Structure 1
Amino acid sequence: MTIKQPLSVVLAGGGSAGHVAPLLAIAAALKERDPQVKLLAVGTAEGLETRLVPDAGVELVLIDRVPMPRKPSADALRFPARMRAAIRSSQRILEDAEADVLLGVGGYVCTPMYQAARKAGIPIVIHEANLRPGLANRWGARYTEWIGTAFQGTKLAKARWVGMPLRRQIARLQRPLQGGRVQNGPAKEELGFDSGKPLVVVTGGSLGALRMNQALAASLPAFAEAGVQILHITGTGKALLDDAGRPVESPGYRQVEYFDGMERAYAAADLLICRSGAGTVSEVAAVGVPAIFVPLPVGNGEQALNAATLVDQSAALMVADQDFTPEWLKHNALPLLKDPARLTELGQRAGQAGIRDAAEKMADMIVQAAR
């Protein structure tokens, strides 16, 4: 069968950065493969996609967010009619786009889009970012054989392990080694830090992590005494303030609420302390940066499972959220920073587990599905 040119791909998913980031990485891989490809993203008004997708130069259309009811309620009674309306909107989007393929990465928007594509006979391609698949992708996986997963242990029938689609700037980042140590001095200087002192990057993700922030704030004197520099990405609206309401200050410490271009932070870091969302774990592995994971202690424990994919290979460390205290940092993080050989070993082991070409694999899958 000959594919019409240019190929038209509708990309559905959103809500969190964990859905939007791989969607945009796949979109970029498709564009790199064929600059004429037609791309249209579908999301909801409540998700991060409303900002991230247009910023990436991809057209975005919105449909209503229709969460699956978990218990009897007024919303549960309205659910069937709302879902039917969302499916009709999805059908119009696919028709107007003359879609050859639907790519879904998970999130509320995917369920009606999968149903509409199935009715229209449009091939469905799925990428599942989490070790435990989400509800929408579990449902959609029943109707396609074109499924890629970020983690090897994800249980979806007919799925292939491809890795996590990453932004090119991260997937192609190199941390050069010389004499058994990462040569990250220039990257530190680029961020305004001293190239000769250790640098820790701490981030709780785009929303921040209050407990991590508080433990770090209490540890600043110990880090300063040890000559350790810190880039602290606090999360939007979660800046650390002193009693006078001013941003906390300490020698070698800098805090920002948001950091644009995490590849620059990865390039400079001697150690990363972070949550363990699927995207972050995959980036740590692809880049080969030494990391301490502090899994978010909510939901079904998926962040701990994500982190375990590296921890079980001695490629990262993990500490439970309730155990992440100033005392833990003093007795674990500071000694690690004084052991360059151990840091190098962690980074190299992580890099051996990393996958850098998942976006290209998913682009190939989309083209194959169109055929």
Structure 2
Amino acid sequence: MTNVLIAGGGTAGHVQPALAVADALVAADPTVRITCLGTAGGLETILVPERGYRLELVPEVKFRRKLNLEALRIPGRLIGTVRAASKVIKKDRIDIVVGFGGYVSLPAYLAARLSLRHRVPVVVHEANARAGIANKIGARLAAVVVAAVPGSCLKGARVVGNPVRRSLSGLDLAALRPEAREYFGLDPDAPTLLVIGGSLGAIKLNDAFSSVAADLGRAGVGVLHAHGRAKPVVLPEPEPGTPAYVATPYLDRMDLAYAAADLIVARSGAITVAEIGALGVPVVYVPLAFGNGEQRLNAVPQAQSGAAVIISEDELTPAAILDRIVPLVKDRSALAAMSAAASTSSTQDADRVIAGIVLDTAHSKDTR
């Protein structure tokens, strides 16, 4: 039996690939015992139990890029979080740690390196086109480093793609569309937009689209809008005879959400990009303007191939939605060309490849 600690929490962009690899590990070896590491404030508290895996929580330590009083408190808080992760490693007799970045991964990496039972090997997966702080440090401690795309700046990283959950890969979207639109209460025939600002929602997308909800209806366009649990939107009363604008805090059926859409408008987090690319749905990306610019970099390959359009946050105005996005969602030939341009080769088997690497590394005496 191999005991695996999977560290990846906070947003669905960290949790979903971690769970995809967990599923692949169990499929490859049913004796594998999975423990997931997360924090109380992350989506893992919902997603991990739903998938049937054990979840252990540690205190959250957020890394600050600016030097201020909060940043000076990070080292002390990190020590406490590393101790908590170390207790999990010892209690569950962990054989290997697999990290996907984010706040919870760095304590897991450090705890694995400092383990007194034996030095626990680490496998790091970087989902973004540019690595974050946790994975930059973790890569220096890791037995194996894998990345979704070239250019992550992690030395020696093997490019394997991003793991996409099997419940999404290989879907027949056209066959699912009638069921999907009925499930969400959408017009069965209207051109339909899916607006997703990441698992936590995006105020910029929320404000821009809700402000033109009535105009979208008059244009004959239906909308499914996931606005985030803590970022509600206010919509006008629907006009009779217009397609529905359906707003929901969270999409628990992403398979049906993707199937319902003719065109997606989304942030370009790594896993969102991987899922959309694997399914070949036409997309307009609105990269998050903060961070280290990785969201724009994530979207560039699909935009260069013709499968996606990139609109910056500053460009996403009500006028841009009506003048650029509405004509596109109603242009069937343009959407067909975008779907044809989508590439799926880099994501289809990433979960299985990573699972194989994890098991090989755990069983190798050279890593102990």
Q: Same fold (TM over 0.5)?
A: yes
Equivalent position of 1:52 in the other structure: 47
**Kept in 1: contact 2:185–2:246 (CA 8 A):** no
Equivalent position of 1:3 in the other structure: none
Residues in 2 aligned to 1:219 and 1:211: alpha-carbon distance in whole angstroms? 13
- 2:316 paired residue among 321, 324, 329: 324
Residue 188 of structure 1: SS of its match in structure 2? Answer: helix
Matches within 5 A, 1:169-248: 169-176=167-174, 184-241=177-234, 248=237
The aligned amino acid for 1:91 is: S
Q: CA RMSD in A?
A: 2.3
- 2:294 paired residue among 281, 289, 302: 302
Q: Give runs of ≥4 in structure 1 deviating > 6 Å.
A: none
**Kept in 2: contact 1:288–1:354 (CA 8 A):** no
Residue 292 of structure 2: SS of its match in structure 1? Answer: coil
**Kept in 1: contact 2:210–2:234 (CA 8 A):** no
Equivalent position of 1:153 in the other structure: 151
Residue 342 of structure 2: SS of its match in structure 1? Answer: helix
The yes-or-no answer on 1:366 pairing with 2:358 is yes
Cα offset for 1:74? 5.4
Equivalent position of 1:179 in the other structure: none
Equivalent position of 1:21 in the other structure: 16
Per the normalisation by structure 2, the TM-score is: 0.89
Residue 163 of structure 1: SS of its match in structure 2? Answer: coil
The aligned amino acid for 2:48 is: V
CA offset digits 1:151-186 (Å, max 9, x no partner): 23322112111111222211232335xxxxx98445
Residues in 2 aligned to 1:70 and 1:273: alpha-carbon distance in whole angstroms? 29
After superposition, the Cα gap between the structure-2 partners of 1:112 and 1:206, relative to the gap in structure 1 and judged at 3 Å, is: closer
CA offset digits 1:65-103 (Å, max 9, x no partner): 334465665555654444344333333321222222111
**Kept in 1: contact 2:306–2:338 (CA 8 A):** yes
The yes-or-no answer on 1:99 pairing with 2:83 is no
Matches within 5 A, 1:327-346: 327-346=319-338
**Kept in 2: contact 1:310–1:353 (CA 8 A):** no
The yes-or-no answer on 1:65 pairing with 2:57 is no
Residue 169 of structure 1: SS of its match in structure 2? Answer: coil
After superposition, the Cα gap between the structure-2 partners of 1:349 and 1:71, relative to the gap in structure 1 and judged at 3 Å, is: closer
Residues in 1 aligned to 2:33 and 2:89: alpha-carbon distance in whole angstroms? 12
**Kept in 1: contact 2:263–2:329 (CA 8 A):** yes
**Kept in 2: contact 1:289–1:351 (CA 8 A):** no
Q: Which deviates more from structure 2 when the two are superposed, residues 229-238 or residues 276-285?
A: 229-238
**Kept in 2: contact 1:149–1:163 (CA 8 A):** yes
Equivalent position of 2:30 in the other structure: 35
In structure 1, stretches of 5+ residues that fail to align are 1-5, 177-181
The yes-or-no answer on 1:126 pairing with 2:124 is yes
The aligned amino acid for 1:42 is: L
Residues in 1 aligned to 2:87 and 2:203: alpha-carbon distance in whole angstroms? 43
Per the normalisation by structure 1, the TM-score is: 0.88
The aligned amino acid for 2:119 is: G
- 1:136 paired residue among 98, 112, 134: 134
- How many residue pairs were aligned? 357
Q: Which deviates more from structure 2 when the two are superposed, residues 78-87 or residues 115-124?
A: 78-87
Q: Which deviates more from structure 2 when the two are superposed, residues 324-333 or residues 276-285?
A: 324-333
Residue 52 of structure 1: SS of its match in structure 2? Answer: helix
Residues in 1 aligned to 2:228 and 2:63: alpha-carbon distance in whole angstroms? 29
The aligned amino acid for 1:215 is: A
In structure 2, stretches of 5+ residues that fail to align are 364-368
Cα offset for 1:290? 0.4
- 1:249 paired residue among 238, 241, 246: 238
Residues in 2 aligned to 1:265 and 1:155: alpha-carbon distance in whole angstroms? 34
Residues in 1 aligned to 2:319 and 2:69: alpha-carbon distance in whole angstroms? 48
Residue 173 of structure 2: SS of its match in structure 1? Answer: coil
CA offset digits 1:239-296 (Å, max 9, x no partner): 3325xxxx64342122222221111111121111111111111111011100011112
Percent sequence identity is 40
**Kept in 1: contact 2:191–2:329 (CA 8 A):** yes
Cα offset for 1:52? 2.2
Residues in 1 aligned to 2:72 and 2:326: alpha-carbon distance in whole angstroms? 55
